[in-house]
Amino acid sequence: MKIVICESVDEAAHAAAEVIIAQVAKNSASRLGLATGSTVEPIYKEVVNLGRLRNISFRAVTTFNLDEYVSVAKEDSYRATMEKLLFSHLDFVSKNTNIPNGASHNLLEEAGRYERLIQAGGIDLQLLGIGRNGHIGFNEPGTPFERSTHVAKLAKATREANTKFFGHSSVMPREAITIGLKTIMSALEIVVVAFGSEKASIVAQAFEGQVVEDVPASVLQRHPRVTVILDRSAAGELQHISRSVSFRA
């Protein structure tokens, strides 16, 4: 596991965007696993900047988002968020941008369909944020490491943290479809990003603590190709900083 500590959020977002751009430059038909949440917003902004600057085409890229809320208003969905932050700004082809359908009448079937879609070609590069309780995707504490795509009940802490994304007229959902920890671990390469002092404790637990199901992100310690990109505040509680490298060394 490589830990990269950056001076600022901007620098960290740039570092993460460079990894995504490099993947697409290397393989124009890359299969990218994408995340949502406030952490990835500056990263997508930078992917758009760099993509335009360097004339990188995303036409042949296939994307798979980690998760989608169940029964959410269209404008609050992760589909709408992804269109707004990323897809509409570059030449992504809409049929290649996959997000679970949280409006499906048969959520179990939808979870199975989504898992099969991912496994049909795998994921080359998976981008992840981390919840304050250690969740990745919507795999909340206690989720078995062996789970594939499933319907997840959102933890109270997650609902509280994500309420800010919902206008007062809409209601924060209680469930989501999420790819599982097993699905995440099947990606060839993973980039995890965390910013801010409120993530410092969980970052230390996840990447220097024991690998336990109560801290879902800790499973990433078992993956052979993980890069953790942090700003200084999110790295604040790591004990073994000497093992870490700075992006601009």
Residues forming the active site: 67, 133, 135, 140
In whole angstroms, the minimum distance from the beta carbon of 108 to ligand GLP comes to: 20
Q: How far is the CB of 140 from ligand GLP (least distance, A)?
A: 10
Q: Which of 35, 125, 191, 238 binds ligand GLP (CB under 6 A)?
A: 35
Return the structure tokens found at 198. 């409120």
> Which helix (H) or strand (E) covers residue 216, if one does?
none
- In whole angstroms, the minimum distance from the beta carbon of 2 to ligand GLP comes to 19
Nearest distance from residue 59's CB to ligand GLP, in Å? 26
Q: Which residues of 93-120 are buried (b: 16+ CB within 10 A; e: fewer)?
A: eeebbbbbbbebeebeebbeebbeebee
User: Comparing C-alpha atoms, which of 44, 54, 51 is closest to residue 78?
Assistant: 44
29-43 in b/e form (b: 16+ CB < 10 A) is ebbbbbbbbebbbbb
The answer to whether residue 177 forms part of the interface with ligand GLP (CB under 6 A) is no
Q: Tell me the number of residues near ligand GLP by CB under 6 A.
A: 14
Of 51 and 173, nearer to ligand GLP (C-beta) is 173
Nearest to 63 by CA among 38, 39, 90: 90
Q: What is the per-residue binding string for ligand GLP in 52-91, x denoting contact by CB under 6 A?
A: --------------xx------------------------
x/- map, 132-171, ligand GLP, by CB under 6 A:
-----xx-------------------x---x---------
Closest to ligand GLP by CB, 51 vs 137, is 137
Residues 6+ apart with CB under 8 A from 23: 30, 32, 124, 125, 189
Residue in the shown chain whose Cβ atom is closest to ligand GLP: 129
Q: Which of 129, 134, 173, 216 binds ligand GLP (CB under 6 A)?
A: 129
Cite the DSSP H helix spans in 154-223.
Answer: 156-162, 181-185, 200-208
